């Protein structure tokens, strides 16, 4: 048999999921919950703490508890209409600007390091060789004061060294066009998307609330059989949704899909 506070938390979660308490609504007070469930105040507080730790409610001392509202911004994660990654992110930032009402900004860092471990394997590099280094482009994207997402792209040094990819400047034409001009047109890629709970440093860096995981989107792009870029993007799951489209999908249908919110279900 489950502990009493878990039973109460589960009951409240079901009422939230069924729409009795909508996002932004206040839950009953502690006194009301004590009367409803005929239990102790300590048990009620543990139930509310359980809901808070799962990211379902916000609790503020003296103000009670409210159902947490999630309004993630959708960004297109698959090619549509021949758009490059960079063009898709430009469109994504336009939506962030429109939906969040805040001007986004970016901070870019470029560095170089030896490719080791999984990175060396994914890019088919040997760190013991002269060609076993990578150029790293790290882009932190902010909405207001909050870090919205962090994207790190790794390019084989023998491709990127001395090019625009190797400088801390924006590339208006997009990285794919630079790679194409260097003789490495992108011909294919694969993606892996997963979720994990953040480290304490990541929780602080992204200003994450309780119970919020990070989405991790990884992609390796190829020119023929040559790996030319590995990209890893960290995104708080309460602020992002990834949209993949396949086949002939009109821009109107894409716009409709960007209005989908998985938290409404």
Q: What value, to the nearest 5°, has the Cα angle with vertex 189 and ends 78 and 91?
A: 30
- With beta carbons less than 8 A apart as the criterion, state whether 233 and 150 touch: yes
Domains located in the chain, CATH noted? 4-67 (1.10.10.10), 73-264 (3.40.1410.10)
Residue 265 has pLDDT above 70, yes or no: no
- Please give the distance of CA 166 from its chain centroid, rounded to a whole number: 25
109 beta partners: 138
Question: Can you give the pLDDT at residue 71?
Answer: 77
Neighbour tally for 126: CB within 10 Å = 11
Instruction: Tell me how far apart the alpha carbons of residues 210 and 198 are, in angstroms, rounded to a whole number.
Output: 10
Instruction: Tell me how far apart the alpha carbons of residues 48 and 56 are, in angstroms, rounded to a whole number.
Output: 9
Q: Over the stretch 73-96, which tens digit does the pLDDT of each residue have?
A: 777 777 665 555 554 556 666 777
Residue 22 has pLDDT above 90, yes or no: no
Q: Over the stretch 141-190, which tens digit does the pLDDT of each residue have?
A: 888 888 989 999 999 999 999 999 999 998 888 899 999 999 999 999 99
**Ramachandran region, residue 79 (left: φ > 0; alpha: ψ -120 to 50; beta: rest):** beta
Phi, psi of 4 (to 5 degrees): -60, -40
Q: What is the mean pLDDT of residues 191-201?
A: 93
């Amino acid at each position: 048999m489950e502990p009493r506070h878990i039973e109460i938390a589960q009951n409240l979660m079901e009422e939230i999921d069924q729409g009795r308490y909508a996002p932004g609504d206040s839950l009953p007070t502690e006194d009301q919950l004590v009367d409803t469930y005929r239990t102790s105040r300590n048990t009620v507080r543990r139930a509310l703490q359980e809901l808070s730790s799962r990211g379902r409610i916000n609790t503020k001392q003296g103000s009670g508890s409210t159902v947490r509202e999630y309004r993630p911004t959708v960004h297109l994660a698959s090619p549509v209409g021949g758009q490059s990654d960079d063009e898709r992110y430009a469109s994504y930032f336009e939506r962030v600007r429109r939906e969040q009402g805040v001007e986004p900004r970016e901070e870019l860092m470029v560095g170089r390091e030896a490719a080791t471990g999984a990175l060396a394997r994914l890019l088919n590099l040997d760190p013991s060789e002269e060609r076993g280094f990578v150029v790293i482009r790290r882009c932190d994207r902010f909405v207001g004061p909050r870090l919205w997402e962090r994207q790190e792209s790794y390019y084989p040094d023998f491709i990127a060294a001395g090019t625009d990819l190797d400088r801390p400047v924006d590339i208006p034409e997009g990285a794919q066009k630079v790679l194409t001009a260097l003789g490495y047109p992108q011909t294919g890629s694969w993606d892996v998307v997963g979720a994990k709970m953040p480290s304490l440093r990541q929780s602080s860096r992204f200003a994450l609330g309780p119970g919020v995981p990070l989405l991790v989107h990884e992609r390796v792009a190829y020119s023929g059989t040559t790996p030319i870029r590995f990209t890893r993007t960290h995104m708080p799951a309460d602020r992002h949704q990834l949209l993949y489209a396949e086949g002939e999908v009109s821009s109107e249908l894409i716009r409709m899909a960007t209005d989908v919110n998985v938290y409404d279900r």
